[in-house]
Structure 1
Amino acid sequence: MESTNQTDAIEFLLLGLSDDPELQPIIFGLFLFMYLVTFLGNLIITLTISAECHLHTPMYFFLSNLSVADICISSTTVPKMLLNIQTPDHRITYSGCLTQACFVLLFAGLENCLLAAMAYDRYVAICHPLRYTVIMNSCFCSILIVVSLAISAVNALLLSLMVLHLNFCTEVEIPHFFCELAQIIKLACSDTLINNILIYISAFMFGGIPFFGIFLSYTEIVSSVLKIPSRQGRHKAFSTCGSHLSVVSLFYGTGLGVYISSAVTESPRKTAVASVMYSIVTQMLNPFIYSLRNRDMKEALRKHVGRIASIV
């Protein structure tokens, strides 16, 4: 195909997870269910934290922001996929594809930063309990959120805008259910060295550094908890970290699984199926992890849902 700089004329084709017509209704129903569960579950978590005064603490402040990020990243990818399944036209414009990729990068980067901030919160609570309210004050927590959002936005815009200098062949196919930046760059007809370098730098900044920070935080946490003389005290300290550790394991575990699957398989479709885990399933399970493993959250949810039921 002939390469072109006329980006307004470029349209990408999102191939989705399968081209089998018999599987399309099943995929549609499954993803609609997961999206509704993700949206409603995270929305309930956010509303519950806002409504319950005793949950207005740094830990739940970060959790509510994580829930909002989960809703946003799912809403960026799933609705377009559901629309494509229902219509024979799977095209997406150049600007639409680039916008979707930018928002995916933004909210994925924000999730990484939030998970690191939550790990730091647990570190301060367990290792420096007497200074917890001084260190994790509302101003500091708000600054962490704003800075995380700002650097995620700058990173997403930089990576997305760098695609503008690439030349593409018209009618290019993306073997994915959303516009993933790496897949877009693979379709370019021009040199993509700079773009790939920036992706690796971004992956280190928003994957490697937050993960290393989480690892250091929990190394200090384990060291401090093991010094607690009573078994009950150790159990109580570890229980406050259980939900966060589960979410971190799920988020980074699925991300690593996608990386490994892309390295060992030559099928882009299989990689796309694997990416469902970190882009949809993780966001769906987060509310359940925090509501089922956290006593305060369970009690607040029970009270909040009961209040809504009495109104209805």
Structure 2
Amino acid sequence: MRNVRVSLGDRSYSIHVGAGLLPTLGRACARLGLGRRCAVITDATVAPLFARKAVDSLVAAGFDAVTLVVPAGEKAKSLKVVADCYDRLAAHRLERKSFVVALGGGVVGDLAGFVAATYLRGVPFVQVPTTLLSQVDSSVGGKVGVNLKAGKNLVGAFHQPRVVLCDLDAFATLPDREFRAGLAEVIKYGIIHDAPLFRRLERDLDRILARDKAVLAAVIARCCAIKADVVSQDETESGLRAILNFGHTIGHGLEAISAYGKYLHGEAISIGQVAAAHLSTKTGLAAADVARIRGLF
């Protein structure tokens, strides 16, 4: 197992990357000194695959866990779904020391994190990301939120998780399209911050696409380390953290004009990154580098 630390003073936390981590969820939460009651927020796709294993681990560790299943997809990131989650947390009598577990991809993490940030003015939460995209990006850094009709992520907060468990075994059930979409965020880190990582992606792309766990563990941990470093320096995106949005301006626009139905997030930002790279030739980026970026996508 690989470990990455996000350094934020008394809100610092660890990211664990490896196989077989979901069954350790209960023990990981017990070490944090959290309250006995908790809620696992997941979606209709992930729940049949992993919810029982997550709840069993929590119950075995002494927690009283309830599962909240929300619709799959971007439509779950709405204030209506948030309000429904509040009602169900209250019905289960979650208190200030209680906690929320986000079990799923980026949508679930954003939604569950926002629910945790705002219920009772903030309760702890734990990230258990099950997609490549959420393991390398959205589960780390504390940006949580939901959408409005006017645009994506317009209501949100900064609310850091207490721990992040990136279980590589979750990829066994991840559709190929989702896995490839997640590579967009991986490639992004190589472009914005780490030339050796970019070269490794060029060299090992076939092994990554084959879901080689040894390669994936190293690559995911490196991506998390890059984001952890950026977040530790600029938690609330007042400067440096904006670099993590490379390709997202165009990508979010594509998602919006297609009503969040045609493109997966990773697909949209793939297009956005290639477009941004082409635009960057006007400010000095070499055409050869643009070709390398385009080649990975």
More helix by share: 1
Superposition TM-score tier, normalisation by shorter sequence: under 0.3
Larger Rg: 1
TM-score by length of 2: 0.25
More strand by share: 2
